[in-house]
Chains A and B, each alone.
Chain A
Amino acid sequence: MTKFVKGNEAVVMGALYAGCELYFGYPITPASEIAHGAAKWFPMLGRTFVQAECETASVNMMFGAAGAGKLSMTATSGPGFSLMQEGISYLAGAELPSVVVNVNRAGPGLGNVYPEQSDYTPAVKGGGHGSYQTFTLAPASVQEMFDLTVKAFAMTAKWRTPAIVFADGLQGQMMESLVLPDSGLPKYDFSEWASEGTPKTRANLVKSIYLDAAQQERFNRHLQEKYAAMAADAMGEAYLADDAEILIVGYGISGRIARTTAEALRKEGVKAGVFRPITLNPFPREQLAAVAAGRKIMAIELDAGQFADDVRLNLAKAGLGAEAAGVVMINRMGGEIVSVDDAVKTAKEMLGA
């Protein structure tokens, strides 16, 4: 059975199906519908909604809820995401599960409320202080706004590092059909480490401080091992890639533009394929390498090339140095969207066609 909803609404539904118990947030366009939905639906299901005084507060409220063993979330856009970085670092440092949704708008500074993917680096590489990583997912449809929000909770609970749902203004505002599942996630028990105010958890301590250098290093090594193991949960999607001579790479909304571009090129007899990372951290390096070898590669993105650089890095790490060196980027910024016409043109130029 399907509903026709906005991407932002699908996020709230996903969170509720996933068993998220508390929502903390501060309004910002184009993410506000997430707070609106949460303000209505969380209390109707006996869960908690708190409007925080700022994004610094939202993320620290999540720290307090997660430290007490409950799943919580917040949603924001660029400026608010920047304010949350300190708190996200603390969540990672204390190994607390929480979900942050960033509906990317144009920046830097106040920018505007139209779609960009320019928060790639803080969303994917850990935007705060210290050597930490988040589990970052990039939805490309209303269905994925729901599905990947559910997945974000499963992953943050599994890996005990914050999960980021990294979307953009267009996906937040657009409506598509959403198929709801029959059930959500199982309930998690965090009593082994959380401070829950119960006899069982009385000896628990949630902290990110290691005063001793050797201890801090040991802990950091543990974190890095954990992040390396996250690679097992990397996800990506290939489309028309088997016989492709040119591979178009893009995530989120750009991944959809890539799809239409590939179809348009195929109509003109050009064998084009698509690879769309669904998780950005862990990056689906092996999956990308499997379809990238020997192909020309074009990256589509709504930023200044942060994603293309990451594609190059991942190709190079996968041993595809030549492919990495040949990556061509097509981008728009400021709320403008890469047009299929331009993408087709660039692809043809790359092939000398």
Chain B
Amino acid sequence: MKTIEQKGMYKSFPRSGKDVSFTHYCPGCGHGIINKLIAEACAEMGLQDETIFVDPVGCGVFTYYYWDAAHISAAHGRASAVATGTCRARPNAVTIAYQGDGDLGAIGFNNAFQAASRGEKFGCIFVNNSLYGMTGGQMAPTTLAGESTTTTPFGRDPALTGYPLHVCEVFSQLKAPVYIARVSVADTRRIMQAKQAIRKVFEIQRAKKGYAILEILAPCPTNFKMDPAAAADFCINEMEKEFPLGVFRDETERENPAPAAIPQAESCAALFAEKDALEPACDDDAFAERRFKFAGYGGQGILSLGLCIAEAARLERRHTLWFPSYGPEQRGGSANCSVVVSGKPIGSPTVEHPDVLVCMNRPAYERFVGDMREGGIVIVDETVPILVEPPKGVKLVVWPAIRMAEEFGVPKAANTMMLAAMKKLGCTGLKGESLEESLVASFKKKPALGEKNRELLREAEKKGS
């Protein structure tokens, strides 16, 4: 198609590599007509400065040669995902994605469908020419039953390849889109209707109404292997039978709900700065690095016990690291965590050989006791039967954590009971006050519980032996 000074188009097309003023489309190609209509609508509505076109991969790939507005050229099938990013990044712009029926209907269907479902604020112009134009006329999801293409040389056989995909009808099942319609550019009357519909898509975007999709039936004479007139007839007589024209939804007047308000912060500092944040760690060669392992069932407060030691270490400005078991390991009820406390920057984060091992159940004890470092200490709940001896040089302490917590009437505090043992045995290398302070702080949201636990800790220390 020849174009001479079309509204909304560049005067000539140097981006094509040649200083020409005709497009690359074949004679009678639907894209050529649609390109002209889109350019006109954009210019006539005064939207060239604020429009961002997201271009496809397909025969429409070079629309950036023609339309005088900003462009982003997407990967094959991804224009709707790209347009999502663009309209989210530039909510004041008018974002228009342009996609073919292989691009949108096949490789990129889910991206287009999900963008429609989210109600992204962009307009999608979807060109249905019933096949892949650019790559040589292969079958598209929209290919008609019986239509012959280069990959359905005997005609599309629904028994093997199913039936044509009705994009508008499928998208009509979604709640979010405000406008869904199908038009054609196969004759003058249809072109005039298409032009109005294209303007509508721009208008919806200018007014920030929401997602709109316009399917346009378009002839591809080259791959239909027809002259332009016959190709246009095919569009009208065959394609429209399968893909009836019409407006599937027009809810442009509907009120869209505004997003619910959420708490706002002024700056990163306001969001993340803590009132009583601790001083950074400092180096102290005199402090011997300690590695802790805590293990038991989920719900026994194992991870919080580790965090409590970590926080106490931070109070004393030690280098501190806490690492939980995660993923499926957590399921099936077991939990463990590691803590490293050091006077210098911590190297390896893993606790291969614990200096201190705290076990709340038998599997935990049996899994980790053999790893102990010589001179280390293992604290186990008295409910754990000791069927495996700790390695030589490792001290074993049996402690009634679970029973004491029950006797105090706070069965959940078994971990606090274990902390009492650690404090009493002096095996943490940390001050008693730090351990208490950290314990209380761990109940920041329920201060009464914090004080209660401090009491229990002191009681347990006195009582336990």
Given contacts A56-B111, A60-B78, contact A257 B348 (CB under 8 A): yes
Q: Which residues of chain B have C-beta atoms less than 8 A from A86's C-beta?
A: 75
A253 at interface (Cβ–Cβ under 8 A)? yes
Q: Give the residues from 90 to 133 in chain A that come closer than 8 angstroms, CB to CB, to chain B.
A: 90, 94, 112-114
Establish whether residues A113 and B327, one from each chain, have CB atoms under 8 Å apart when the complex forms.
yes
Binary contact readout A44-56 vs B (1 if CB under 8 angstroms, 0 otherwise): 1110101011101
Given contacts A29-B327, A64-B84, A179-B280, contact A174 B70 (CB under 8 A): no
Q: Which residues of chain B have C-beta atoms less than 8 A from A212's C-beta?
A: 17
Establish whether residues A2 and B277, one from each chain, have CB atoms under 8 Å apart when the complex forms.
yes
Complex-state Cα separation, A349 to B337, whole angstroms:
33
Establish whether residues B71 and A205, one from each chain, have CB atoms under 8 Å apart when the complex forms.
yes
Complex-state Cα separation, A176 to B90, whole angstroms:
37
A341 at interface (Cβ–Cβ under 8 A)? yes
Q: Which residues of chain A have C-beta atoms less than 8 A from B82's C-beta?
A: 60-61, 63-64, 67
Establish whether residues A56 and B50, one from each chain, have CB atoms under 8 Å apart when the complex forms.
no
Establish whether residues B327 and A30, one from each chain, have CB atoms under 8 Å apart when the complex forms.
yes
Q: Which residues of chain B have C-beta atoms less than 8 A from A341's C-beta?
A: 352
Q: Which residues of chain A have C-beta atoms less than 8 A from B88's C-beta?
A: 22, 48, 50, 61, 64-65
Establish whether residues A208 and B17, one from each chain, have CB atoms under 8 Å apart when the complex forms.
no
| B83 smallest CB distance to A (angstroms) | 6
CB closest residue in chain A, given B117: A53
B95 at interface (Cβ–Cβ under 8 A)? yes
A278 at interface (Cβ–Cβ under 8 A)? no
- Of the stretches B30-38, B315-323, B382-390, B402-410, the one at the interface is B315-323
Establish whether residues B52 and A44, one from each chain, have CB atoms under 8 Å apart when the complex forms.
no
Interface size on B, as a range, is: 35 or more
A-B contact count (CB 8 A): 241
Q: Which residues of chain A have C-beta atoms less than 8 A from B456's C-beta?
A: none
Pick the residue among A44, A48, A66, A69 that contacts B262 (CB under 8 A).
Answer: A44
Binary contact readout A81-94 vs B (1 if CB under 8 angstroms, 0 otherwise): 00000110010001
CB closest residue in chain A, given B326: A173
Establish whether residues B84 and A50, one from each chain, have CB atoms under 8 Å apart when the complex forms.
yes
Establish whether residues A1 and B278, one from each chain, have CB atoms under 8 Å apart when the complex forms.
yes
Given contacts A112-B327, A202-B48, contact A61 B85 (CB under 8 A): yes
Establish whether residues A197 and B92, one from each chain, have CB atoms under 8 Å apart when the complex forms.
yes
Complex-state Cα separation, A208 to B36, whole angstroms:
24
B328 at interface (Cβ–Cβ under 8 A)? yes
Establish whether residues A3 and B272, one from each chain, have CB atoms under 8 Å apart when the complex forms.
yes
- Of the stretches B189-197, B212-220, B263-271, B362-370, the one at the interface is B263-271
Q: Which residues of chain B have C-beta atoms less than 8 A from A62's C-beta?
A: 85
Establish whether residues A60 and B75, one from each chain, have CB atoms under 8 Å apart when the complex forms.
yes
| B44 smallest CB distance to A (angstroms) | 16
Pick the residue among A45, A169, A204 that contacts B271 (CB under 8 A).
Answer: A45
- Of the stretches A13-21, A152-160, A303-311, A315-323, the one at the interface is A13-21
Complex-state Cα separation, A146 to B92, whole angstroms:
32
| A145 smallest CB distance to B (angstroms) | 13
Complex-state Cα separation, A69 to B88, whole angstroms:
12
Pick the residue among A57, A173, A199 that contacts B324 (CB under 8 A).
Answer: A173
Establish whether residues A68 and B52, one from each chain, have CB atoms under 8 Å apart when the complex forms.
yes
Q: Which residues of chain B have C-beta atoms less than 8 A from A43's C-beta?
A: 262
Interface centre among A170, A202, A203, A341, by most chain B C-beta atoms within 10 angstroms, is A202
Establish whether residues B89 and A17, one from each chain, have CB atoms under 8 Å apart when the complex forms.
no
Q: Which residues of chain A have C-beta atoms less than 8 A from B94's C-beta?
A: 197
CB closest residue in chain B, given A86: B75
CB closest residue in chain A, given B274: A3
CB closest residue in chain A, given B327: A113
B412 at interface (Cβ–Cβ under 8 A)? no
B182 at interface (Cβ–Cβ under 8 A)? no
Establish whether residues B322 and A61, one from each chain, have CB atoms under 8 Å apart when the complex forms.
no
Pick the residue among A2, A65, A259 that contacts B89 (CB under 8 A).
Answer: A65
Establish whether residues B70 and A196, one from each chain, have CB atoms under 8 Å apart when the complex forms.
yes
Q: Which residues of chain A have C-beta atoms less than 8 A from B49's C-beta?
A: 197-199, 202
Q: Which residues of chain B have C-beta atoms less than 8 A from A173's C-beta?
A: 323-324, 326
Given contacts A195-B52, A198-B49, A207-B64, contact A63 B85 (CB under 8 A): yes
Pick the residue among B81, B263, B348 that contacts A260 (CB under 8 A).
Answer: B348
B281 at interface (Cβ–Cβ under 8 A)? yes
Q: Which residues of chain B have C-beta atoms less than 8 A from A176's C-beta?
A: 320-322, 346
Complex-state Cα separation, A101 to B311, whole angstroms:
28
Establish whether residues B321 and A174, one from each chain, have CB atoms under 8 Å apart when the complex forms.
yes
Complex-state Cα separation, A41 to B271, whole angstroms:
8
Establish whether residues B320 and A4, one from each chain, have CB atoms under 8 Å apart when the complex forms.
yes
A256 at interface (Cβ–Cβ under 8 A)? yes
Binary contact readout A176-211 vs B (1 if CB under 8 angstroms, 0 otherwise): 110110101000000000011111011111111101
CB closest residue in chain B, given A50: B88
Complex-state Cα separation, A228 to B85, whole angstroms:
30
A340 at interface (Cβ–Cβ under 8 A)? yes
A166 at interface (Cβ–Cβ under 8 A)? no
The 25 sampled A-B contact pairs (Cβ below 8 Å) are: A1-B273, A2-B314, A16-B268, A24-B85, A30-B327, A50-B84, A52-B114, A56-B111, A61-B84, A61-B88, A62-B85, A63-B75, A64-B72, A64-B89, A65-B85, A65-B88, A68-B89, A68-B93, A170-B323, A177-B319, A197-B95, A207-B55, A207-B71, A211-B17, A261-B347
B interface residue numbers (CB < 8 A to A): 15, 17, 48-52, 54-55, 61, 64, 68-75, 78, 81-90, 92-95, 110-111, 114, 118, 262-265, 267-269, 271-274, 277-281, 307, 310-311, 314, 319-324, 326-328, 345-350, 352
A interface residue numbers (CB < 8 A to B): 1-4, 13, 16-17, 21-22, 24, 29-30, 41, 43-46, 48, 50, 52-54, 56-57, 60-70, 72, 86-87, 90, 94, 112-114, 169-171, 173-177, 179-180, 182, 184, 195-199, 201-209, 211-212, 215, 253, 256-261, 263, 337, 339-341
